[in-house]
Amino acid sequence: MLKGNIVLPEYQRFFVWDKTKVIKLIETLKAKEFVPPITIGAFYENGTTQNLILDGQQRLTSILLAHLSLYPDKDFFRNTLAQIGNDNDDELDDEDQLDNILDWDFRKLAEKGRTKEEILSRVVTDNYRQVNYEIDEDFLKSTFLGFSYLVPNVHDQRIQQKYYSSVFRNINIQGVALLAMESRASLYFLNRERKEFFDPLFMSDYVLRSSNVDSKIDFLRYTSLLSQYAINSNSAGVARGFKSNMEKYYEEYIHSVANDDHSDLFKDFSVIFPQGNYNTQLGRLRTLLNDLEIHKQFHSIIDADLYMFGLIYYVLFENKTIDIARKDELTIRLQDAMSTFRGDYGHRRAPSALKYLRARMDSSIEIYDQYTNE
C-alpha cells in the first residue's frame, strides 16, 4: 500500500469504518479467526501493470492504521474548520497542513512516506488520534489475510475497464453497504476522460438534506433524464418502464456516454458535444450556479429539481446561458413553482413518482426558457 504495489481505483469511496470496527478486525486477525479475503485485480495500461483494490479497502486500511497506531480524527478536523471559518483569513494557512479527514483514504498517509517512521514524523498532531491496537512489530509478519487475484486474459484497455466495472458492481462488499451513487461510480471507469462529466467536482458542494443527513446532489440523474428529454423536447416518456429500477436506467446512460454507443433512450453524446468536448458548457454551468446564487443545501428534492433541471438543460444540452441581470425575477418564479408543488399533498408525499418528477422537469425548463441567452 505504501509503495504503490496495490492501489485504489478512482471510483473507490472513502474510508468509512469507525474505530470500533478497526479494533474488531485486528482482534479477529490476532485470534486467527476467519476474515473474508480481499480482491485484487491486475490492470494493464501503457505497458505497465497496476494492481487495483477491488474489494477490501476498509480491511487493508484498518491494518495499516493498526501498524501506525493511528486513527483519523474527524471531530478535530470539523472543529478546526469551524474555528477557521470564524477567524480571519490569516488563519487559513493552518488548515492547509491538515489532511481532509472527511474525504479520507490511506493515500493521505502514503503521501507522507513509505515507512512507518517517515509517516509518523510528518503527521500533524491531533489530525490523527494515537490508538494502541495492542499489536507488536511481528504482527504483519505472522498474520495473513487471504486474497483473490484477478488477471484478465486481455490487454485491451476498454475490455478490461468494462470487466472491472462489472466486478466491482457485483462484489458482495463486506461491511458498510455502498450507496447507489457510490456503486454506480465504478462504471465511470469505463471512460476516464468523461468521469468529470458524470460527476463534476464542483457539484459535490450541492447537497440534499434529509433528516439532518446530507447527501450529494445526483448530477447524473439530471443529465440522464434530460438526455432522454432532449430527443423530443418533452418529458412524456422519460424513464418509462424504469420506475422500479432507476439504477438500470442510469447504467444504460453511462454505457451510452462512455462508449459512444447509440441508445434509443438517450440523445447521442457526440451530437450534444461534438468531438466529446463538454468542458465549455460544464465550466459555464459552474459559473452560473455561483452567479445565480443558487443554494448549496436543499431541504427538498422538489426545490433541487426546480433549480437544476432547467439550468442544466439549457446550459449543457442547448448550449445557452442565462440572463443574470434578471436573476431575482427568475428566482421568484422558481420559488412560486416550488410552493405550488409542495402544496400538493400527493406530490409532497411521493416526489420520486415519475409523474411528479416529469412535472418538475417541465416546469423548470419552461421557467428557465424565459431567461435564456444564446
Per residue in 184-211, pLDDT tens? 777 777 777 888 899 898 998 999 987 6
**Average pLDDT of the chain to the nearest whole number:** 88
The DSSP element (H or E) to which 26 belongs, if any, is helix 19-30
329 has pLDDT over 60? yes
181 has pLDDT over 90? no
Q: Looking at 267-342, which runs of residues are DSSP E strands?
A: 297-298, 321-322
Looking at the DSSP assignment, which residues form a beta bridge with residue 40? 53, 149
How much is the pLDDT for 300?
93
Mean pLDDT is lowest, of 178-192, 229-243, 278-292, 314-328, for 178-192
CB 145, CB 59: distance < 8 Å? yes
Question: How would you classify residue 69: left for phi > 0, otherwise alpha for psi between -120 and 50, otherwise beta?
Answer: left
Confidence tier at 120 by pLDDT (50, 70, 90): very high
How much is the pLDDT for 88?
46
Tell whether the torsion through CA atoms of 7, 207, 184 and 277 is positive or negative. negative
How much is the pLDDT for 214?
75
Percentage with pLDDT > 70 across the chain: 90
The full 3-state SS of the chain, as one line of letters, equals CCCCCCECCCCCCCCCCCHHHHHHHHHHHHCCCCCCCEEEEEEEECCEEEEEEEECHHHHHHHHHHHHCEEECHHHHHHHHHHHHHCCHHHHHHHHCCCCHHHCCCHHHHCCCCCHHHHHHHCCECCEEECCCCCCCCHHHHCCCCEEEECCCCCCHHHHHHHHHHHHHHCCCCCCCCCHHHHHHHHHHHCHHHHHHHCCHHHHHCEEEECCEEEECCHHHHHHHHHHHHHHCCCCCCCCCCCCCHHHHHHHHHHHHHCCCCCCCCCCHHHHCHHHCCHHHHHHHHHHHHHCCCCCEECCHHHHHHHHHHHHHHHHHCCCEECHHHHHHHHHHHHHHHHHHHCCHHHHHCCCCHHHHHHHHHHHHHHHHCCEEC
How much is the pLDDT for 94?
44
How much is the pLDDT for 7?
92
C-alpha cell at 79: 472543529
Each residue's pLDDT tens digit, 70-104: 999 988 887 776 665 454 444 444 444 788 888 89
Name the packing angle between helices 354-369 and 219-232 (round to 10°).
Answer: 70
Confidence tier at 179 by pLDDT (50, 70, 90): low
How much is the pLDDT for 63?
96
325 has pLDDT over 70? yes
108 has pLDDT over 70? yes
- Please give the average per-residue pLDDT across 285-294, as a whole number: 96
Range 160-169, long-range pairs (CB < 8 A, 24+ positions): 160/43, 160/44, 161/189, 161/190, 161/191, 162/190, 164/9, 164/41, 164/43, 164/52, 164/54, 164/189, 165/189, 165/190, 167/39, 167/41, 167/54, 168/9, 168/11, 168/54, 168/55
How much is the pLDDT for 372?
95
52 has pLDDT over 50? yes
Q: Looking at 66-217, which runs of residues are DSSP E strands?
A: 70-72, 128-130, 147-150, 207-210, 213-216
Top mean pLDDT of 66-80, 166-180, 212-226, 274-288 is at: 274-288
How much is the pLDDT for 211?
65
How much is the pLDDT for 21?
92
Question: CA dist 260 to 45, 72, 191, 247, 314, Å?
Answer: 21, 41, 10, 19, 22
Each residue's pLDDT tens digit, 123-152: 988 899 999 999 998 999 999 999 999 998
Greater pLDDT, 292 or 152:
292
How much is the pLDDT for 357?
96
How much is the pLDDT for 98?
85
183 has pLDDT over 90? no
Greater pLDDT, 162 or 339:
339
Each residue's pLDDT tens digit, 245-278: 898 899 899 989 988 888 999 999 999 998 889 9
Q: Which 3 state secondary structure label does DSSP give 343?
A: coil
Confidence tier at 174 by pLDDT (50, 70, 90): very low
- Please give the average per-residue pLDDT across 207-232, as a whole number: 89
- Please give the average per-residue pLDDT across 296-305, as a whole number: 94
Greater pLDDT, 331 or 153:
331
